[in-house]
Amino acid sequence: MGMTISEKILSAHAGAEAYAGDIVVAEIDHAMGQDGTTPLSIRAFQRMNGKRLKHTDRVSLVIDHSAPSPNEGVSALHKMMREFADEMGCNLYDIGEGICHQLMPERGHVVPGDLIVGADSHTCTYGALNAFSTGVGSTDLAAVWLTGKLWFRIPPTKRIVFRGRLPRGVYSKDMMLSAIGKLTADGCTYETVEIIGSTVTQMSVDARMTMSNMVVEMGAKAGIFECDKKVLDYVSSRTNRRPRPESSDPDAIFSRTINMSVSNLTPMVAKPHAVDNVAPVDSVLDVPIQQAFLGTCTNGRLEDLRIAAKILKEKRVKEGVRLIVAPASRDIYLDAMRLGIVQALVKAGAVIVTPGCGCCVGTHNGIPSDGENVISTANRNFRGRMGNSRSFIYLASPATVAASALQGRIADPREAIA
């Protein structure tokens, strides 16, 4: 019987052939935790009488959600993480290194065929590298630290096939927002989404990560791309671990296949207060904005910063608009400086903050005020997400965010590029 990528990866890690709906206990290749979730994992690990990690080299902790610490409470939790990492001998990426979902692939912790879990819902990002990766809670993470394993129900797979050439000014973020609008916030609950087609094979690994990152906004457990030379080149420069690429068999069973043509796609936005509240940018052009945010595990990579800098170069952000930029990692920050991207952004009026998650998750680094509108490259726009339940968040591509920052209202990036 034919198998999907998910069935193959989970079977290989469980040591037995298993199909959608089966429950397996599988070996984990890497387990990641961040500062919002790891402290609870440490508590759970202690409750399980954990003394040492099953595999020290398969555990990474990242301080990114409130980095550097904005208050005493968080400082105590960070200290707890540092002491735990020191005692256990695992990786710790401290403040300023970057966002967990950028660091995991960037520092070589992910190769094709891997099974990875992280105590953060956007762990699905590494599917861009042909890995099965999914978000879990703190207690699940502690169980992995202790046993090296976790139980899974093997998900059914939906396929989204993207065909056609992306028009100028339209990007992978717009494709994904369009798919989420169509399938809705619970359209893929407990499923894997396989993203294939001629459009995505043309895309960079960065652009693919934007899409795998957001599959959880449709309720999915994982979002997986096929492996190709771009993926192999990406991982080979970062690790000596052997890639084990997987692709779905021709006779594998899919719960549904959705065909989407991108040839006529326009820039899209997700309007407050839901990610599936998606509309073409034309329908919101009159919305004034007070803050624009470029960054996050969705769109804080070099390609994203470059696209925004191209639009902002030698221009000036509209008076009254705060443009906040958080590169997704220190390495991206350094590359962006080397390429003059940071200089272009800062000259245009941007404020660069520490690589991390703060602005997106509302812990610090740009909490909007009452009644303000924010246009952001993030993946969530729930009420209160950025730390104020009386503000309004619109999600869009880096190009739309940059164009909007110049206009002081939501703008069509195709005009800024033309």
Which two tokens mark 373? 């509108």
Report in angstroms how near the CB of residue 262 gets to another protein at its nearest: 26
Report in angstroms how near the CB of residue 44 gets to another protein at its nearest: 5
Asked if 378 is part of the footprint of another protein (rule: CB under 8 A), the reply reads no
Window 150 to 189, contacts with another protein (CB under 8 A): 150-151, 153, 185-186, 189
CB 133, CB 10: distance < 8 Å: no
**73 contacts: CB under 8 Å, gap ≥ 6:** none
- Using CB under 8 A, pick the residue from 68, 107, 147, 407 that binds another protein: 147
CB 90, CB 186: distance < 8 Å: no
Q: How far apart are CA 88 and CA 84, in angstroms?
A: 6
Binding track, positions 275-294, relative to another protein; x by CB under 8 A = --------------------
- Closest CB to another protein among 144 and 307? 144
DSSP letter for each residue of 100-144: HHHHHHHTT---TT-EEEEESGGGGGGGGGT-EEEE--HHHHHHH
Asked if 13 is part of the footprint of another protein (rule: CB under 8 A), the reply reads no
Asked if 194 is part of the footprint of another protein (rule: CB under 8 A), the reply reads no
Report in angstroms how near the CB of residue 206 gets to another protein at its nearest: 23
- Closest CB to another protein among 261 and 369? 369
- Closest CB to another protein among 139 and 247? 139
Report in angstroms how near the CB of residue 397 gets to another protein at its nearest: 21
Handedness of CA 366, 370, 373, 379 (dihedral sign): positive
- Closest CB to another protein among 97 and 120? 120
Instruction: Kindly report the backbone phi and psi dihedral angles of residue 340, in degrees, each rounded to the nearest multiple of 5, phi listed first.
Output: 80, 10
Q: Where on the phi/psi map is residue 379: left (φ > 0), alpha (ψ -120 to 50), or beta?
A: alpha
Q: Which one-letter DSSP state was computed for residue 288?
A: B
Write out the residues near another protein by the rule CB under 8 A.
Answer: 23, 25, 35-37, 39-40, 43-44, 47-49, 65-66, 71, 73-74, 77, 118-121, 123, 135-140, 142-143, 146-147, 149-151, 153, 185-186, 189-190, 219, 221, 274, 361-363, 380, 382-387, 389
